[in-house]
Structure 1
Amino acid sequence: MRVKKAVFPVAGLGTRFLPATKAMAKEMLTVVDKPIIQYAVEEAFDAGIEQIIFVTGRGKKALEDHFDRSYELETTLKSKGKTDLLHMLQDLVPRTGTIVYTRQHDPLGLGHAIWCARDIVGDEPFAVLLADDMIQTPGKPVLAEMVEKFDRFRASIAAVMEVEKDQTDKYGILDAVSLEEDIVKIKDMVEKPDPEDAPSNLAIVGRYILTPKIWDYLGRKQAGAGGEIQLTDAMKGLLTEQPIFGYKFKGTRFDCGDKVGFQMANLAFSLERPEMRGKLLDFIKTIKS
């Protein structure tokens, strides 16, 4: 079966960005001139995803409005002859029925957020994208590459990268063996281990393709690290029945849930814009000391 659906867990409160996120969804923070969530949605559609499933919480109305029509604004742009901006806004809005919303009423962790989408996804493989993880790649977006890998292996797959040894307590860390230059086969995984206990420095980041068997393990709602229902624990259970692979992507990952990572993403993606690059580089030279 093709991977046609993607789950976006977007119920988080974004407390690390207060006060900016007091009245605005953290996924609506902008990198250059687009909200973080838009980059992730575009990546999903570029990978052939046909249905986006947002798992939301309170205070996410701006996110929903962003992917809806704004007739007043469109009428104003049309009357002023700003056709480029008008077309850009209209292109933001997917076909009716392409985006589905469901609620995570209790903040019980990533695994629980994904479980909230179970009835919408159904009995088919699906992708999960964490919008906070922005990945700048020299070629195809990460999820598009992962879909191709899934078509080969017909098994769950996660995006993975090497992290500093002293950072393992921030990630799901793998015990894995290399199969190909960019593919590892996962033997075990540990959620946020202390550096001295980590089996490696190979970490899972926010892109997954999962088989529907994962619902059996998420549905047990077993609390793990931090007292939350962790996706890593469900994947550990899945490993007892099915193989799981890791895709070592080429590119740079920015943690936009962190203030420093967010600023780094803004700079990196701004430098990709020809109309901005020269001025930014000149400015950087003046402050580099």
Structure 2
Amino acid sequence: MAEHKKVRKAVFPVAGLGTRFLPATKAVPKEMLTVVDKPIIQYVVDEALEAGIEHFVFVTGRNKHIIEDYFDIHFELEQTLRERSKNAEITLLAGQLPKAGTVSFTRQQEPLGLGHAVWCAREIIGDEPFALLLPDMIMKSEAKGCMKGMIDLYAQSGGNIIAVEECAPDQAHKYGIVGVGDAIGDGFRITGMVEKPAKGTAPSNFFINGRYILQPEVFKILETQERGAGNEIQLTDGIAALMRDERVLAYRYAGQRYDCGSKLGYLQATAAIGLKHPETAEGFRASLAGLLEGRGLA
């Protein structure tokens, strides 16, 4: 099996305004909204850590300094915990603190789209393949995580990889859809991409779910990419251009995905994780049953 340049770095585009969660996001970035006991962004970073990512690159915007503070040492908090002998809490915080020098932040000054946000990370990524994880999506799987599965496929195939899932065929018009080519490992070769195809015209029912492994050549494409849908620089357009010269594969993700960029997806993630959390599972299940049966909270 041929060796491919290791995917060491991951990009997290966290500059979005979070307008679907106003007024909460006036003060708290949507990535820092809490699902049970961790902010959304921590679940996404944990997925990258499981996959072996070593360097985390956050593309931020104005009023996102809270994210930078979160991934730093909190001296006053830790001192107070030590004074109160809260050893379990100290261990928890230490386990989630990135190693020194493994986190970088860069600024997207204007909201010009996902493609532009990725391009803003070019100097930090350099001439390396990189992972891209959209911070709204929490992935949960009984087996390996989504990015870990993608890394495993990359070790076999190299190139560019996009994670996809199946949707009901009559829902394909809501998503970015890929065309299906020859099977390769846990995925297949992508023959084309179309964003929100008209009903009945989708090439498949496999939709792009927010996880990517990309080669650095995409930066040159994005640098001159014309604005597309929404008058923004679209990553999908850049990948479509990349496909003219490079192979792009799909990784078939079979776990659960929760779109925490929507209110419904956020509530679904909270319910799913709360029903499995050791401190909340039993009581939460009883409370939900009571609500569903019209009895109020248990």
User: What's the CA shift for 1:166?
Assistant: 4.7
**TM-score, normalised with respect to structure 2:** 0.93
Deviation sequence 1:211-243 (CA, Å, 0-9, x none): 112112111131111111111111111111111
Given candidates 216, 220, 236, the residue that maps to 2:220 is 216
Code of the residue aligned with 2:183 in structure 1: it is: L
C-alpha contact (below 8 Å) 1:191/1:233 kept by paired residues: no
Code of the residue aligned with 1:280 in structure 2: it is: F
Code of the residue aligned with 2:88 in structure 1: it is: D
Change (3 A) 1:223 1:27: same
Structure 2 unaligned blocks of 5 or more: 294-298
Given candidates 265, 271, 276, the residue that maps to 1:267 is 271
Q: Which 4+ residue blocks in structure 1 deviate beyond 3 angstroms? A: 164-170
User: What aligned pairs does 1:1-289 form with structure 2 within 5 A after superposition?
Assistant: 1-180=5-184, 182-289=186-293
Deviation sequence 1:97-155 (CA, Å, 0-9, x none): 10000000110110100000011101110000011111110111111111111011011
Deviation sequence 1:225-267 (CA, Å, 0-9, x none): 1111111111111111111111111211111000000000001
Partner Cα distance (1:197, 1:105) in 2: 37
Q: CA RMSD in A?
A: 1.4
C-alpha contact (below 8 Å) 2:153/2:185 kept by paired residues: no
Indicate the residue corresponding to 2:296 in structure 1. Answer: none
Identical counterparts, % of pairs: 48
Q: How many residues align?
A: 289
Structure 1 unaligned blocks of 5 or more: none
Deviation sequence 1:43-86 (CA, Å, 0-9, x none): 11111111000000001111111100110010001001111111
In structure 2, the residue corresponding to 1:274 is in which secondary structure?
Answer: coil
User: What's the CA shift for 1:163?
Assistant: 2.1
User: What's the CA shift for 1:200?
Assistant: 2.2
**TM-score, normalised with respect to structure 1:** 0.96
User: What's the CA shift for 1:157?
Assistant: 0.4
